[in-house]
Structure 1
Amino acid sequence: MKKLFTLFLIVFAASAGYAQFSLEGQLRPRTELRNGFKKPILPGQEPALFTEQRSRLIAGFKAEKYGFKFSVQDVRIWGETGQINKSDQLLSTHEAYGEFYASKNSTFRIGRQEVIYDGHRLFGSLDWAAQGRSLDAIRYLYKDEKGNQFDMMASWNQTGYGDGAPEPAKLVGNSYVITSGGGTNTRIFNLGLPKAQAMAYYKKTFKSGDVAFMLLEDIYDVDATSGENYGNLTIGFTPNFKTEKLKFGGQVYYTGGTSGKTETNGSYEKTDLSGYMANAYIQFTNLSGTPLLGIDYLSGDDEETTDKVEGWAPKYGTNHKFYGFMDYFYVGNGHGGADAKSAGLLDIYLQTTFKLGEKGKLLGHLHYFSAPEARTNATSGQSYDGYLGTELDLVFNYALTKGVSLSAGYSQLFGISDTMKQLKFNDPATETGDMQCWGWLMIAFTPKFL
């Protein structure tokens, strides 16, 4: 028996050299008090109080030439399902992909997966949201020892299959209008899922920083008669540099092309796009709190122009990370008003991070928001632009033990301007509540079973 057990250990150890299995869990309930989240709360309105919970089970497998990952999650609001419940349809797959290692430096990844580039600016995992973000795609990933990274991604999206009609019509045709996430809105900040997508990314890392370039093409529709594609191209450039005492850099993105077709009097017309964003920052890594000063500029729509969309926002980014934690701008909204045109955004911000002992950390962010493009009130005819408001975000993180962490946050919006009221309510005379704030408390369990 002893010899058999020893043989088993030898075989297991040998196999472990070629394959590795991992199993992790995540339980993340978060309680929020919303008293002016996303838009100012009005006098007499009751704040929202709820607990949202994410539960994930993540399995991974890696062998010598291939790998596999599967992540299933349950996302729910406490109390939205009854106590005696058979099925709630809240279970879903977050990631499910396979990898083929073509060489030491080359990997093909196929399936549903998180896509993250350049600090979540254009592509991000949206991990703050309980459901997160993942895409269906095939990616080629290359990375070598000289600091070169080259990625390509492609996808073809479909609502069901065929044209959605009953059999046998499902055997032919394609649904070229994919409306999930954007409906029929043609504004660039709220487009639906593209029909087809192609991305190329290159990053060069060197001793003093890195430089990255991105090309992203989204095709939203195809003219059945002419076969012409309706889509747009995004070009991005991200430089980052560092010295012994400083980090500095920025990002520039431009999107041109069309957002697809809109039907007008029985005929189809396309909406032209021409939007951009620019970011610059400098961080003092030698100072207490490592303060970071930055500025973001997102182009807006000119009120006088109706045939082109100049407003811009990250298409698949984690916008919650950038434009204030109260999500007033570009998180499920286009920051535009009744006409759905973007007023753009100028965000000047200061970020700090302080360590509190061995296990604690305090983050502090201060934002100064303004709108570069004016919006005219339909009743008075008066235009409003400029200062919007000032937001303070505080986040405390504490590691209770290995695999368990506690987080708490508080945000408050000060100085709500008439321009903000015009954008959020289409009425600068709207009376808002005296206190605009948002608070939350979250505990995260992240066990590693294997």
Structure 2
Amino acid sequence: MKTLFALIVLVLTAGASYAQFTLEGQLRPRTELRNGFKKPILPDQEPAVFTEQRTRLVAGYKAEKYAFKLSIQDVRIWGETGQINKSDQLLSAHEAYGEYYASGKSTFRIGRQEVIYDGHRLFGSLDWAAQGRSLDALRYLYKDEKGNQFDLMAAWNQAGYGDGSPEPAKLVGNAYVITTGGGTNTRIFNLALPKAQLMAYYKKTLKSGDLAFMLLDDIYDVDATSGENYSNTTFGFTPNFTAGKVKFGGQFFYTGGANGKTETDGEYSKVDLSGYMANAYVQFTGVTGSPLFGVDYLSGDDESTTDKVEGWAPKYGTNHKFYGFMDYFYVGNGHGGVDAKSAGLVDIYLQTAFKLSEKAKLVGHLHYFSAPEARTNATTGESYDGYLGTELDLVFNYALTKGVVLSAGYSQMFGISDTMKQLKLGDPTAKIGGMQSWGWLMINFSPKFL
């Protein structure tokens, strides 16, 4: 018996040396008071107050040659489901993928996964949003000890249960047109995806920083019946350097190709696309608060042209991180406002972070926003551009205990201009509420069960 017991222990121990199982959770309710969030609130409008909650259970398994991850989440607004409820459609798979380790340097990952590159600028997990962001893709990941990282990604998207005919009805055709919205399923919110994606990424880590390059091709179907399609290609360059206690760098992205196709008497013509963004920053880590000064420039669309789009649109990034926490720009809107054309953005900003104690941290951001492209009021014919507003963001984080963090935030938009009102409300003379603000309180439980 002792021999058998010893053998069992030996087998289990040997298995444990090659395999590791993890189980983590997250419960994150956040209450918000929106009094001018995303756009100015009017005097006769009542501020919105609600609580949104994310609940996640994340399981992982890692063996010698492969790994597996499953992240199941429930995202809901408090009160949207009645007290006696058999089922709802609020449960989903945020991530579900497998990895095969071809070697110590090469990994193949397939399934639904978060895709994050270069600080979440073009590809990001959108963790601030309760639902987050993930994509269905096949990726090849290479990384060596010499500082080389090389990734490839491919995706082929097809309509399914929410927006098309489910299996076993898929016999012919590959048209894929999912627009922003819920399609035939009223409980689904989709954000439009291309029919196919191809991406290549290379990053070189140096002693003083790193250099990253990205090439992305997105291919779209025009509609479900014509067989017409179009594509656009994005090139990105991200340099970051450190010199003593100073960090500096930036990002540049250019997207060219087509923004769509228009149909006239059965003939399709391409709508050209040529937009870009540029960022530069410098941070002083040796100074209290580690102040970071930066500027972003996102090209805007020239409203005088109808056959070309010059505005740059962030595609799959975490835009909440960059353009002010009040989400006036590029979060759930194209920052074109009423006329749906992007006026572009110039964002001059200051970021600071103060460690108040071992458990407490205070973050402060200040943004000065302006629009590089003019917008014309349809009634008066007058054009508006330039200064938009100034936003202050404050966030306080406090670790109550290991695995539990309490956070609170307050943001306010000051000096809202006629240009901002033209973009967001379509009326530069609109009377808005006195204080345009947003406040929130959130607690994040993140236990590690195994």
Sort the TM-score into its range (normalised by shorter chain).
over 0.9
1:302 lines up with 2:302 in the alignment: yes
Contact 1:234 1:253 in 2 (8 A): yes
Measure, in 1, the Cα distance between the counterparts of 2:191 and 2:75: 24
Structure 1 residues 153, 175: CA separation in 2 closer, same or farther (over 3 Å shift)? same
Q: What does the per-residue CA deviation read over 1:162-196, in whole Å, with 9 as the maximum and x for residues that have no partner?
A: x956999731111143334699xxxxxx9831000
1:67 lines up with 2:67 in the alignment: yes
Contact 1:363 1:396 in 2 (8 A): yes
Match of 2:186 in 1: none
Contact 2:212 2:239 in 1 (8 A): yes
Match of 1:88 in 2: 88
Measure, in 2, the Cα distance between the counterparts of 1:146 and 1:436: 50
Measure, in 2, the Cα distance between the counterparts of 1:430 and 1:223: 38
Match of 1:379 in 2: 379
Q: What does the per-residue CA deviation read over 1:365-422, in whole Å, with 9 as the maximum and x for residues that have no partner?
A: 0000000100011111111000000000000111111111111100000000000000
The residue correspondences of 1:7-18 to structure 2 (distance < 5 A) are 7-18=7-18
Measure, in 2, the Cα distance between the counterparts of 1:397 and 1:72: 26
Match of 2:25 in 1: 25
Measure, in 2, the Cα distance between the counterparts of 1:114 and 1:288: 34
- Report the RMSD for the aligned CA atoms in angstroms: 2.2
Contact 1:178 1:195 in 2 (8 A): no
Contact 1:182 1:192 in 2 (8 A): no
Structure 1 residues 153, 371: CA separation in 2 closer, same or farther (over 3 Å shift)? same
Measure, in 2, the Cα distance between the counterparts of 1:50 and 1:213: 41
Measure, in 2, the Cα distance between the counterparts of 1:115 and 1:6: 44
* Aligned-partner residue type, residue 424 of structure 2: K
The residue correspondences of 1:46-445 to structure 2 (distance < 5 A) are 46-160=46-160, 164=164, 170-180=170-180, 192-221=192-221, 229-445=229-445
Structure 1 residues 302, 222: CA separation in 2 closer, same or farther (over 3 Å shift)? closer
* Aligned-partner residue type, residue 426 of structure 2: N
Measure, in 1, the Cα distance between the counterparts of 2:276 and 2:240: 19
Contact 1:324 1:391 in 2 (8 A): yes
What's the offset of the Cα at 1:247? Answer: 0.2
What's the offset of the Cα at 1:72? Answer: 0.4
Contact 1:251 1:279 in 2 (8 A): yes
Measure, in 1, the Cα distance between the counterparts of 2:89 and 2:75: 10
What's the offset of the Cα at 1:318? Answer: 0.2
TM-score, scaled relative to structure 1: 0.94
Percentage of matched positions with identical amino acids = 83
What's the offset of the Cα at 1:45? Answer: 1.0
Structure 1 residues 423, 141: CA separation in 2 closer, same or farther (over 3 Å shift)? same
Contact 1:272 1:308 in 2 (8 A): yes
Contact 2:58 2:69 in 1 (8 A): yes
Contact 2:236 2:254 in 1 (8 A): yes
What's the offset of the Cα at 1:16? Answer: 0.8
Contact 1:164 1:170 in 2 (8 A): no
Measure, in 2, the Cα distance between the counterparts of 1:168 and 1:125: 32
What's the offset of the Cα at 1:78? Answer: 0.5
Contact 1:299 1:312 in 2 (8 A): yes
* Secondary structure class of the residue paired with 1:242: strand
TM-score, scaled relative to structure 2: 0.94
Contact 1:191 1:259 in 2 (8 A): no
Contact 2:175 2:224 in 1 (8 A): no
Measure, in 1, the Cα distance between the counterparts of 2:325 and 2:336: 19
Measure, in 2, the Cα distance between the counterparts of 1:104 and 1:5: 35
Contact 1:76 1:90 in 2 (8 A): yes
Contact 2:66 2:101 in 1 (8 A): yes
Structure 1 residues 378, 176: CA separation in 2 closer, same or farther (over 3 Å shift)? same
Measure, in 1, the Cα distance between the counterparts of 2:10 and 2:257: 61
Contact 1:111 1:136 in 2 (8 A): yes
Contact 1:408 1:440 in 2 (8 A): yes
Measure, in 1, the Cα distance between the counterparts of 2:168 and 2:104: 46
Structure 1 residues 182, 368: CA separation in 2 closer, same or farther (over 3 Å shift)? farther
What's the offset of the Cα at 1:244? Answer: 1.2
Measure, in 1, the Cα distance between the counterparts of 2:111 and 2:357: 42
Measure, in 1, the Cα distance between the counterparts of 2:5 and 2:215: 56
* Number of positions where the alignment pairs a residue of Structure 1 with one of Structure 2: 443
* Aligned-partner residue type, residue 358 of structure 2: E
Measure, in 1, the Cα distance between the counterparts of 2:357 and 2:168: 67
* Residue segments in structure 2 that go unaligned for 5+ positions in a row: 184-189
* Residue segments in structure 1 that go unaligned for 5+ positions in a row: 184-189
What's the offset of the Cα at 1:259? Answer: 2.2
* Secondary structure class of the residue paired with 1:10: helix
* Secondary structure class of the residue paired with 1:386: strand
Deviates more, 1:291-300 or 1:256-265: 256-265
* Aligned-partner residue type, residue 300 of structure 2: G
What's the offset of the Cα at 1:14? Answer: 1.1
Match of 1:186 in 2: none
Contact 2:159 2:165 in 1 (8 A): no
Structure 1 residues 168, 238: CA separation in 2 closer, same or farther (over 3 Å shift)? closer
